[in-house]
Structure 1
Amino acid sequence: MTEARETSSTGPFGKNGAGTALPHDRPVKEEPLKEVLRRLVDDGRAYADAEINRQKIRAAFIGSGLRTVVILGAVALILLFGTLVTLMIGLVFALAPYLTPLGATFAVSITALLIVAILLYAAKQRLRRLFPDKDRP
């Protein structure tokens, strides 16, 4: 009768009645603290390396975009300066024979100013792509 009580109290399948031991019934494989800390430090280093590489790529992308903006702006400023010089020289020449060189001076100046406007517009568009406005849809 003693055997019947043991079987009935624990069931036909053992302690938990399911035929398999629960995870808390199994022996836990203990890992030394030193090994756990070493793994933690290695994972931390790997994460830091990945984050550094990500930031380098991001900086290179922004740097190349800003370089293009600076180049376009510099060319626009050079053309603007050249236009002002051309306008001044053209005005000097225009005063000598009275109007014919002035027409040529205005044609060159207006053409250069149109190019400046196009370059500045292109620089503005590049800046908008690099730094999108969060308020715009």
Structure 2
Amino acid sequence: MAGDGQEPRIPTRPSVPDLFARLITDGRAWAKAELALLKCRGESLVEALRTAVVLIVAAIMLATVASFALAIGAILWLATLVGPLWATVIVVVTLLALAGILGWLGVARIGRVFEDKS
């Protein structure tokens, strides 16, 4: 070191343009990494939602089948009391009334959501 004939190296400071160039390079690398992370999170979310939607659709289909079975069962039971025609009329009118009430409640709720709150 002192006796080898070489001057001790003094670390040089990078220039301001060099610092800005490194800042821009690091910023780009950070932005690319953030975008990759967001893409990965988005793909994971889509996969989880896809599974949830499939399960919900299957549940709705099963509930629909169960509703048909209930309606048919009600018609068959009532048919022994009032005959098949009147049993069908009673079940259909009851289901339409229930559908009308539920639809009216849904429309009323939508109306409340969009009301002016001022």
Q: TM-score, normalised by structure 2?
A: 0.55
Give, in whole Å, the separation in 2 of the partners of 1:20 and 1:40. Answer: 38
Distance verdict in 2 for CA 1:93–1:35, change over 3 Å? same
Unaligned regions of 5+ residues in structure 2, if any? 82-118
- The reply to whether residue 63 of structure 1 matches residue 46 of structure 2 is yes
Aligned residues: 80
Residue of structure 2 equivalent to 1:76: 59
1:27 Cα offset (Å): 3.3
Distance verdict in 2 for CA 1:74–1:20, change over 3 Å? farther
Cα deviations by residue, 1:54-95 (Å, 9 ceiling, x for unpaired)? 111111112111111121112112211221122112210233
Q: Identify the match of residue 76 of structure 2 among 48, 72, 93.
A: 93
Amino acid at match of 2:19: V
Q: TM-score, normalised by structure 1?
A: 0.48
- The reply to whether residue 32 of structure 1 matches residue 32 of structure 2 is no
Distance verdict in 2 for CA 1:94–1:51, change over 3 Å? same
- The reply to whether residue 50 of structure 1 matches residue 15 of structure 2 is no
1:50 Cα offset (Å): 0.9
Amino acid at match of 2:79: A
Task: Report which of the two structures shows the higher radius of gyration computed on alpha carbons.
Answer: 1
Amino acid at match of 1:67: R
Give, in whole Å, the separation in 1 of the partners of 2:64 and 2:4. Answer: 87
Give, in whole Å, the separation in 2 of the partners of 1:20 and 1:49. Answer: 47
Identity of aligned residues (%): 31
Give, in whole Å, the separation in 2 of the partners of 1:88 and 1:44. Answer: 64
SS at match of 1:31: coil
Residue of structure 1 equivalent to 2:103: none
Distance verdict in 2 for CA 1:48–1:20, change over 3 Å? farther
Cα deviations by residue, 1:28-47 (Å, 9 ceiling, x for unpaired)? 33432101211111111111
